[in-house]
Every structure is written in C-alpha cells, then in structure tokens.
A and B are shown apart, each in its own frame.
Chain A
C-alpha cells in the first residue's frame, strides 16, 4: 500500500513538472484515476494537479476523454449508467470519489458551464437566482444583489438589466452562455468547469467569454476543455494534453506551445495529428 502511494506520488510530481505548488493552493489532486464505461476504459492512470486561481486547459483529439475527465470532477459522470471509477480525486484534501462525499455539496463548490448554453425556460432573473434559491436564500433584497453581482461578473449586466423578467430563451446564444456563467457565479463556487464553452458561439461572443475568463480567474479556479489551440494558448496558465484516455503531457501553457517534451504533443498542436 505504502509502496503504491509512493510511486503514484512520484508520478504526480513528474507530471505536474514541479511548478512550485504547495499543498495549500492545490484545488484538485487526481491520483491514478481510471474510468470505464462498461468494459470500455475511457481514462487510464490520470495524475493531475489543479492549482488555485489558474486556468487549466485540457486539449486533445475527439474521444480522448476530456469531457469524461471534467465531468468526473463534479461527479456529473454518475448520471451515465454503467460508469466505474478507480483511483482518487481529492478536492481540497477530501476524496470526492468516496461515496460518503455528498455530491450536492461538491456541486455547490464546483460550478459547471456546458458546451451548449442550457438556461432554464424561466426569466433571466429567475435563472440567476435559481442556485441561491434552492440553497435556501429567500430574502428578496439579497437575491437582487446576487443577481446584479453575478450578471456583472459574467459581463452581461448592461445587456440584460432592462429585461430581467423576460424569458432567457429570447437572448442570443452568446448571451445565453454568459447567463449560464452568471447562474454558476451566483452560488459563488470555488472552481468553474467549462466543457467547450465557446464551441457553439460566434467569434465575437467567444472573445467576450474569453475576456471574461481572464477576469474570473482572479477569484476562481477554472478548468476548460477546448478544441481551439489558440484559445488554450491565449487564456490558460497550464495545459494538459490528453490522448486515448491518458495524459501525455501536463505543463505550463507557454512551454506546451513552444517546446513540448513529447513528440505526440508537438504533432497534435501543430496539426500534424489524425
């Protein structure tokens, strides 16, 4: 037991590339994570450390397990029947894969923004205050404050402040996505997971969401899956390259995009890959 711990520890160190992280500012520590959909293994021996107030990008070809990994971080993966996991993901020092970790509690700490904007078919205001409401905040004044703060935080306040009571589906796709970010900010999470949040958006909306992320990383830790290399290079501090369910390389983004250690990484980011 002690021995396996040791090997996984050293592996983690190697993969995180010794970027001077101390235990305190580590948000997620993934150790030897394996995941199967039925008999099909989608994640193999993943070791990753996510650091506070950084943007971590996950890149890799289609089907390599990016969404699977990010959905494991807030246990949304459990919604899929037949999923099995082995290994450990500790969030702020506690293993979230442990069944005693209450999933609702985890998800109030770890927000998620989806690939396709998915506002509720309610008013803009109701969308934003949904989270605080179900977690027991009833005071109208406080809810109003939360709504304004979150919408400002998601850089959409000016566009919607005069139409808070209109249906969210009247907004454009880019606005809907920022509304979903606001909805997520409203419960003041610690981490925000984003799975290709701009892939359904036009370039201008994409730019707005990217600028927003730069702003958000001052107070949140962000993990983002993206197929857009430029986006990963522009916005992230660290990048993980996934391939066939494994982490090939995990390092500082600047290094990843200038002189990656692994040939496969270089092939992928230069577009010489299947």
Chain B
C-alpha cells in the first residue's frame, strides 16, 4: 500500500480540512441556530392557536354555563327563544361515526397487515403498499360524495329505514379511509419483528397462523395500538365526509340510521353561514373546537401510555 497519495498522506489532507473548518464562520455554528428557529416557529404557532382557543372559549363560557354545556341534552344554538348549548349530542354524533369507522377499519386493517407481513410474497407487497399510499392521498371530499352518492343508496337497499343523511354511511366510509393507515403502520410494526422469533416459534411446531397471532402480533402490539389510536384521532377530526353525508341534526341517541351532526360538521356549518362576530354562536365554535382538541389530546396521551405499557423489549 502506497502511503503517499499525490505526494501527501491522508492524515495531512484531513488535518488541512480541519484547519479550514476551524477558521471563519463555519456552517457548523449557523446550522443549529437555523434549526432552532424553525423548531421555535412551529412550537410558537401551536401555542398561539391553543391560546386563541382558550380565550375565545372563556368568552363563550361567560354567556353559557359549563354545567349546561356538559349536561344539557340539546344542541339548539340557532333557536331564537330557547337556545340550548349541550355538547353531548355533538359528541354522540362524533362517537357514532368514529365507532362505526373503528369497527370497519380495525379488523380489515389488521387482517391486511397480517397478510402483508406474514403471508404476502415480496411482489404482492411491492404492489399493495403503494396502493395504500394512493388511498391515503385521496381528498376527503371525494370520500364524502362517495358516501352520499354511492354507499348510502347501496345501504338503503338493505336497510329500508335508512335516511339519506345518517351516521352509518359516513362511518363506514371513514373506516375505509383509515384502513390503509392502520394496515400500513401495523405492517411496519410487524415486519420489524425479528425473523429469529418466527423461527423460534415455528421450530416448536407452531403453524404460520399461530406464529402470526401468538408471537408477531403481541411483539408488535405497541406499534399496532399506536396505529389504531392515530386512526381514531383521524376519524374524530374528520370533517368533509361527515359534513357532506351525515346531515346536520345534533341528536343524543343510539340511532345510527338517522341524520346526526358531529363536532367538526357543526364548526363547518357555522363558519359557512353568516353568523355575526361576537355572538354566542360564534364563540360556540371555539368551545366545540376546544372539546375536539381535548379529545385528540386524550388520544395522544393514551397512545403514549399504551405504547410504553405494551412495549415488548427485544
């Protein structure tokens, strides 16, 4: 091996480079500052949004009592004579749609992820994974009209009592929308389970399905649960699909075949109409927005708690 390269040793070239780095304003010093600024901007914006939400929410509660907001069973903000601001009907609307979406998405999404990570050939995986990404990129307004003009008429054939606007159809469609997300993220979690574990289980006489259910699924539990929680947050916050296909009747009941209103759809409804600035209705969208925010925050905490609790070290 020649120690000299073009007359100089590698060590000489390195020390020259080190020398020039040390002199002048190096990029090394500016980069962390720039990065800090970008991080700070996003944090500050978030804080600003939360503060606005809090202030406007306080203004709302100057006019409506917290007790009424939490316990009244009617949401009649537009009534001139007997306006009622009980959040429960809107919450129930959101829960109905989210619940249906989860019932659709979790079994299908998990089954798909087990298929992809444990059974599918490389070729099938290479074809299916990008399709999931395409599905995730479809604008939700498209899903909304898909619910209204395709799924609802289809469901009416089987459920005669189904109204044009209902919780069932947008619930199913939101489920379809979040399925690829659960499938894709859960597949990532399962694929990262080391093969040595599968071999250990197979060598004990497990079938492939037993390996998937008893070894891979538990080992990937934290990632899978995180994917489900993320999908639930998506469903809770979903706006266009419910605004288009779920109707605008806040009702507190267990019925999923009739028109409902979710928290998000209510906010859309108010911001589309010509509600005067400073009215109670105007502030109410902040109170509803705050409630929504608390729910997603809660989901985030659950996700963190669960993934810590179920983390299987390997």
Interface residues of A (CB under 8 A from B): 74, 76, 79, 104-108, 111-112, 114, 116, 118-122, 130-131, 133-135, 167, 169-170, 180, 183-184, 187
Contacts and interface: CB of A to CB of B under 8 A. Distances in A.
A76 B205 contact: no
Nearest to A132: B204
A121 B217 CA distance: 11
Name the prevailing secondary structure of the A interface residues.
helix
Interface of B: 194, 196-197, 199-207, 210, 214-215, 218-219, 312-314
Centre residue among B205, B206, B207, B313 by max chain A CB count within 10 A: B205
A120 B202 contact: no
A16 to B, nearest CB: 27
Contacts of B215: 120
A134 B204 contact: yes
A121 B196 contact: no
A146 to B, nearest CB: 13
Given A130-B214, A134-B214, A107 B197 contact: no
Contact of A76 (B199, B210, B313): B199
B204 A107 contact: yes
A167 B312 CA distance: 8
Nearest to B221: A121
Contacts of A119: 200
Contacts of B201: 120, 130
Centre residue among A106, A134, A187 by max chain B CB count within 10 A: A134
B205 A105 contact: yes
B199 A116 contact: no
Contacts of A134: 204-206, 210, 214
A133 B200 CA distance: 15
14 contacts: A74-B203, A107-B203, A107-B204, A114-B200, A118-B197, A120-B197, A120-B201, A130-B201, A130-B204, A130-B214, A131-B205, A134-B214, A135-B205, A184-B204
Contact of A121 (B199, B206, B210, B218): B218
A167 B313 contact: yes
Contacts of B314: 121, 169
Contacts of A111: 203-204
B197 A108 contact: no
Given A134-B210, A134-B214, A167-B312, A187 B204 contact: yes
Name the prevailing secondary structure of the B interface residues.
helix
Nearest to A105: B205
A76 B203 contact: yes
B194 to A, nearest CB: 8
A246 B279 CA distance: 89
Contacts of A105: 205
Nearest to B203: A112
Contact of B206 (A74, A79, A104, A118): A104
A169 B313 contact: yes
A101 to B, nearest CB: 13
A121 B203 contact: no
Contacts of B218: 121-122
A106 B200 CA distance: 15
Given A105-B205, A120-B197, 7 more contacts: A76-B202, A79-B199, A104-B207, A116-B196, A121-B312, A167-B313, A183-B204
A145 B204 CA distance: 19
B205 A180 contact: no
A121 B200 CA distance: 12
A178 to B, nearest CB: 14
Contacts of A180: 200
A121 B204 contact: no
A187 B205 contact: yes
